[in-house]
Amino acid sequence: MAVTDDLACAPLDALKGVGPALAVKLARLGLKSQQDLLFHLPLRYQDRTRVSPIGTLRHSDHAVIEGEIELADVHLGRRRSLMVRIADGSGALFLRFFYFNRAQQKAFAKGARLRAYGEVRRGAHTLEMVHPEYRLLGEGQETQVEEALTPIYPATEGVGQTQLRRLIDQMLERIRDTPPRELLPPGLLPPGLPTLAEALQLLHHPPPETSLQALEAGSHPAIQRLALEELLAHQLALRHTRHQLQALRAPLLAGDGLLVRAFLAALPFPLTGAQQRVSAEIARDLATPRPMLRLVQGDVGSGKTVVAALAALRAIESGYQAALMAPTELLAEQHFRNLSAWFEPLGLRVAWLAGSLKGRKRRDMLEHTALGTAKLVVGTHALFQPEVRFRKLGLVMVDEQHRFGVEQRLALKEKGVEDDSHPHQLTLTATPIPRTLYMTAYADLDLSIIDELPPGRTPVETVVIPEGRRMEVVARVRAQCREGRQAYWVCPLISESDVLTCQAAEETSTILAQELPELCVGLIHGRMKAAQKDAVMAEFKRGALDLLVATTVIEVGVDVPNASLMIIENAERLGLAQLHQLRGRVGRGAEKSSCVLLYAAPLSAIAKERLHVMRETNDGFVIAQRDHDLRGPGELLGTRQTGLLALKVADLQRDADLVERLATIAEGVEQRYPELVEPLQVRWIGAAERYVGV
């Protein structure tokens, strides 16, 4: 039997019924080749393989029924509707139509037989189906039930289920005679999994005996077969990137240790054991002639900035520049202030680049960066703009990399490529990454974990309070500030509009100033100019403000040890990772600190779970795992911008056991079947591969 592996290149317009207009609509679904269509899997299934007796039906069932029409009348209630009563001897129900015409009404003649499919709902007097699919049956006519479960596909305007089924059926007919190329060698497949062709046939046309529960849970062997292949493709892409990196040259950043020793001697605190261990791992990488690609993971307040500073000093000692990119101006400013305070006494210039920097100051910073007189350059996405040139960039550091699109990270990394020498790369994150996610998404990176907080940090007590008790929270703020401490009051995003969010923060600030006239209340939000934000933050840091009302712009980078109370309004609207980051703004000193999560009822099940987790633990790793379970990896990694790890079939929580086997299977493919590596990547990843490892 012949096989084909060119479906990825086969155009859709070669299929019957696909013209230019339909091809454009299909492209909106990401369907551009015949292979895309074949791998366009159902969201769910309907069981139309048997006719159910009406008397056995229950609310929320989806069923095929067949019976005799007893009456058809127009009901004039709150909404005019056509009510058709049908019975089959075991019971009766109504079909309700809100949209109908006279001809349709006339066709529902008493005594006629009818078959319908729909969802069963409770009506005013009995069960009913609203706008079911139906067919009138002629005298003595019998229609066959479906032979397989009916697939329901992701669709778009202008492309309905019938059209998608017809096109996919054409593809299934083709692969019966010419199966798609098998890219998983039998010797490496876990036992019990079907071939690719068998898996695709079953998933598009499941036999009646197929377990709907197994399909919906993703545990069916056919789904596991495709999930394994997809995960393997990503794993191979990451390993390929790692092999490529190991073949590249990078500058040796060993240094003489003078700046590092002077820096450590000037620090007012000793490094934790975890900071020392991670710094040593980075130093070993920098002293090799291949590019470092290391991820430093550490919870809020674990001291990642000090570790980054030590890495930058090793680059500077070796005659190179370092760059640190942060996702927001506020976080970049915080890094700039901290690093300037540490580096300037050592005689090192730190440059600052952000979108808000204009005129002469911007020209000066660009000049110092290009000449190399700025040894460390800190900034936002402005760092990768074309006019930014480095003299000799040896180390690129990215903080909270999942907040950047891969194109942005790639642009910064490529600024350091010179004479076939590539910069070392260090990624920092305060978002702990679950093991399965690391093994799948970051398998090309070496991982360092700062798993120890500096001494003197006290755990933050978290309480969850309904907004109806808001005045109790206001009283708590008053009591804390009277004792000489400070507080944050955060107003999260209330819509997709920054303007509305900032207006909400301004209104909250005004109201709190009226309710707490004895306190100095400040305001900071994302639409303020950088100089304004700087001034407000400076006032808060020196204690001139008691209470700071803010949007989530303060999520990362703000360090005020005297602030011991965090209030988060509408906490139910935020994800676990963001709540944990905000809570990390307090508990940075020796004082006992608290976080109050104000919520508006009613709460969804996910919101309840998030608030429960926040109340139960301060452990960032536990929180990250629960966030991952609740939301999946997309938001954590920023994959909406990347296209990479936007998994089509696999699920990292559900398929954790497959993830654990990936490294062994990938190694087997590389060693024994290297010719399969590229086809696997083309099938599942395509052009996204160039972004792996960025």
Please name each of the domains of the chain with its CATH number: 12-46+150-217 (no CATH), 54-137 (2.40.50.140), 258-450 (3.40.50.300), 460-617 (3.40.50.300)
- If one compares 386 and 197, the residue with the highest pLDDT of the two is 197
pLDDT of residue 532: 83
Reported pTM: 0.69
Strand (E) or helix (H) holding 67: strand 62-76
pLDDT of residue 354: 85
Between CA 681 and CA 690 the distance in angstroms is 11
Contact present, 653 and 628 (Cβ < 8 Å): yes
Q: Is the dihedral of CA 42, 641, 300, 566 positive or negative?
A: negative
pLDDT of residue 200: 95
Q: Directed axis angle between helix 304-317 and helix 329-343, to 10°?
A: 60
Query: Residue 637: is its pLDDT beyond 60?
Result: no
Q: How confident is the model at residue 401 (pLDDT cuts 50, 70, 90)?
A: low
pLDDT of residue 158: 85
Contact present, 388 and 382 (Cβ < 8 Å): yes
pLDDT of residue 660: 81
Which range, of 87-101, 355-369, 524-538, averages the lowest pLDDT?
524-538
Per-residue HEC secondary structure of 445-475 comes to CEEEEECCCCCCCCCEEEEEEEHHHHHHHHH
Bridge partners for 159 per DSSP: 156
Q: What percent of the chain has pLDDT over 90?
A: 46
Q: What is the DSSP letter of 194?
A: P
Please classify residue 269 by burial: count the beta carbons closer than 10 Å to its beta carbon, then call 0-12 exposed, 13-18 middle and 19+ buried.
Answer: exposed
Helices (H), 551-684: 576-583, 605-616, 620-631, 633-637, 639-642, 656-672, 677-684
pLDDT of residue 402: 52
Q: How confident is the model at residue 376 (pLDDT cuts 50, 70, 90)?
A: very high
Between CA 400 and CA 404 the distance in angstroms is 8
Query: Residue 636: is its pLDDT beyond 50?
Result: no
Task: Quick: pLDDT tens for 276-309.
Answer: 999 999 999 999 999 898 989 888 778 899 999 9
Task: Quick: pLDDT tens for 158-211.
Answer: 888 889 999 999 999 988 888 888 898 888 888 888 999 999 999 999 998 999
Overall average pLDDT of the 658-674 stretch: 89
Q: How confident is the model at residue 577 (pLDDT cuts 50, 70, 90)?
A: confident
Query: Highest-confidence range of 312-326, 430-444, 606-620, by mean pLDDT?
Result: 312-326
Q: Which two tokens stand for residue 250?
A: 């990078």
SS3 category, 410: helix
Q: Indicate left, alpha or beta for 370 from its phi (over 0: left) and psi (-120 to 50: alpha).
A: alpha
Radius of gyration of the chain, Cα coordinates, nearest whole angstrom: 31
Please give the angle made by the CA atoms of 203, 206 and 211, to the nearest 5 degrees. 100
Which range, of 5-9, 310-314, 671-675, averages the lowest pLDDT?
5-9
Which range, of 90-104, 360-374, 405-419, 615-629, averages the lowest pLDDT?
405-419
Q: Directed axis angle between helix 196-204 and helix 221-247, to 10°?
A: 130
Between CA 660 and CA 664 the distance in angstroms is 9
Contact present, 182 and 3 (Cβ < 8 Å): yes
Task: Quick: pLDDT tens for 449-485.
Answer: 898 877 767 788 999 999 999 999 999 999 999 999 9
Q: Is the dihedral of CA 111, 117, 120, 121 positive or negative?
A: negative
Q: Which two tokens stand for residue 323?
A: 């760059």
Please give the angle made by the CA atoms of 411, 319 and 387, to the nearest 5 degrees. 30
pLDDT of residue 669: 93
pLDDT of residue 645: 57
Q: Which two tokens stand for residue 328?
A: 């927001």
The Cβ of residue 346 has, within 10 Å, a number of other Cβ atoms equal to 15
SS3 category, 524: strand
Contacts of 139 (CB under 8 A, 6+ apart): none
Query: Residue 406: is its pLDDT beyond 70?
Result: no
Average per-residue pLDDT for the chain = 85
Query: Residue 265: is its pLDDT beyond 60?
Result: yes
- If one compares 49 and 638, the residue with the highest pLDDT of the two is 49
Contacts of 333 (CB under 8 A, 6+ apart): 352, 354, 530, 533, 534, 557
Q: Chain centroid to CA 392: how far?
A: 34
Beta strands (DSSP E) in 563-693 are 563-568, 593-599
pLDDT of residue 555: 54
- If one compares 223 and 381, the residue with the highest pLDDT of the two is 223
Contact present, 262 and 256 (Cβ < 8 Å): no
Overall average pLDDT of the 423-446 stretch: 77
pLDDT of residue 618: 85
Beta strands (DSSP E) in 234-325 are 293-298, 321-325
Query: Residue 502: is its pLDDT beyond 60?
Result: no
Between CA 11 and CA 256 the distance in angstroms is 59
Query: Residue 124: is its pLDDT beyond 90?
Result: no
Q: How confident is the model at residue 350 (pLDDT cuts 50, 70, 90)?
A: very high
pLDDT of residue 554: 67
Number of helices (H), then strands (E), belonging to the chain: the values are 24, 21
pLDDT of residue 632: 55
